[in-house]
């Protein structure tokens, strides 16, 4: 049985490379790269890169960009069951300053949708032969805030294991539906649970998610790594010091590894190490982020992992 990813608010990520970004002036680009993106799309792509068979990407895709999204999935061996929307997919422009190693984001709005599109997506998800369902990213404007929670409930009713990666009110409502896995970063979780600052806030956040009944919690901490927790225990993974080339997909790569961990019944420590290695692959590639098995293996040895008191 397969892993499915759902992207309700996909995007095209256009990265523009600049030797030095000068705001308010004419900037000449060194190069650019256009990739279909959106969090669930990224998760599916990373699983495809890693050689996982039976991955399906689902989502609401502006039909004028359908070809771009379908061919990107096919190139990575990922199946697709996209639900068409009228118009184009929104575009996220990333201005990459090669001198300062900074990225400036400009996000454009996306197409309009109506409830019938959401029902069509629910139908596609029901038909998809999957066991693990990843629901990732933000909601398109006007989409009911309980949409992720509804997808979790529907999936659970069908006996599927869900992983949620979203933020704000959609995350808070999704947590009430008790997904199997969740991957907030610290800012996202603090906003929803109102955590105290510092290490006790991190541990309290993880503990409260586990007490809600969530089976696999990953609280990501950027360059400081992540805390993962399941009934098997709680671990802290620490990445080696790296220079990120891009910020696109660090969290998504981690979610991809969680989905694989759940799908293949991995031990917690193994999932944690894999999740960290996946994220490092995503942020350190000069070209588009990819999770290559050889790079994952190289990173695995460099990751430090320790048990923490849950």
Q: Does 132 bind ligand ATP (CB under 6 A)?
A: no
Q: Does 279 bind ligand ATP (CB under 6 A)?
A: yes
CA 184 to chain centre: 10
252 is catalytic: yes
Q: How far apart are CA 31 and CA 267, in angstroms?
A: 42
Q: Does 78 bind ligand ATP (CB under 6 A)?
A: no
Rg of the chain in Å (alpha carbons): 18
H helical segments located in 177-302? 186-193, 199-211, 250-263, 268-284, 293-300
Q: Does 101 bind ligand ATP (CB under 6 A)?
A: no
CB of 132 to ligand ATP, least distance (A): 19
Q: How far apart are CA 60 and CA 224, in angstroms?
A: 34
> Which residues contact residue 122 at a Cβ distance below 8 angstroms, ignoring those fewer than 6 apart?
150, 151, 154
CB of 298 to ligand ATP, least distance (A): 14
SS3 label, residue 190: helix
Of residues 94 and 117, the one with the C-beta less far from Mg ion:
94
Q: How far apart are CA 133 and CA 152, in angstroms?
A: 8
Is residue 62 within 8 A of residue 86, CB to CB? The reply is yes
**The two three-digit tokens of residue 54, written as one number:** 């039976």
CA-closest candidate to residue 281, choices 310, 308, 306, 256: 256
CB of 174 to ligand ATP, least distance (A): 15
Q: Does 223 bind ligand ATP (CB under 6 A)?
A: yes
Site map 159..198 versus ligand ATP, x via CB under 6 A: --------------------------x-------------
Q: Does 38 bind ligand ATP (CB under 6 A)?
A: no
CB of 183 to ligand ATP, least distance (A): 7
Which residue in 114, 165, 252, 301 is the catalytic one?
A: 252
In the complex, the residues that contact ligand ATP under the rule CB under 6 A are: 185, 220-223, 225-226, 239, 242, 244, 247, 249-252, 254, 276, 279-280, 283
Catalytically annotated residues: 252
């Amino acid at each position: 049985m397969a892993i499915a990813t759902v992207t309700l608010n996909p995007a095209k990520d256009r990265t523009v490379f600049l030797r030095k970004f000068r705001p308010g002036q004419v900037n000449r680009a060194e190069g650019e790269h256009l990739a279909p993106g959106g969090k669930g799309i990224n998760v599916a792509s990373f699983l495809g890169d890693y050689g996982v068979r039976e991955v399906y990407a689902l989502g609401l895709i502006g039909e004028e960009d359908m070809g771009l999204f379908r061919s990107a999935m096919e190139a990575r061996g990922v199946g697709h069951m996209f639900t068409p929307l009228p118009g184009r997919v929104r575009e996220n422009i990333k201005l990459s300053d090669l001198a300062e190693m900074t990225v400036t984001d400009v996000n454009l709005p996306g197409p309009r949708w109506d409830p019938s599109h959401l029902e069509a997506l629910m139908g596609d998800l029901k038909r998809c032969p999957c066991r693990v369902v990843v629901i990732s990213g933000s909601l398109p404007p006007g989409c009911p805030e309980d949409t992720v929670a509804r997808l979790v409930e529907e999936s659970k009713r069908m006996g599927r294991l869900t992983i949620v990666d979203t933020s704000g009110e959609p995350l808070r409502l999704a947590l009430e539906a008790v997904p199997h896995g969740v991957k907030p970063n610290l800012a996202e979780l603090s906003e929803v649970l109102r955590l105290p600052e510092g290490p006790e806030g991190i541990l309290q956040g993880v503990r409260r998610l586990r007490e809600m009944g969530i089976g696999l919690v990953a609280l990501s901490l950027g360059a400081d790594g992540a805390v993962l927790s399941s009934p098997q225990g709680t671990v802290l993974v620490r990445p080696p010091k790296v220079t990120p080339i891009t910020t696109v997909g660090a969290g998504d790569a981690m979610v991809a590894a969680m989905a694989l961990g759940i799908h293949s019944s991995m031990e917690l420590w193994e999932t944690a190490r894999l999740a960290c290695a996946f994220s490092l692959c995503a942020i350190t590639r000069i070209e588009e982020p990819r999770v290559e098995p050889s790079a994952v293996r190289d990173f695995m040895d460099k990751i430090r992992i320790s048990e923490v008191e849950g």
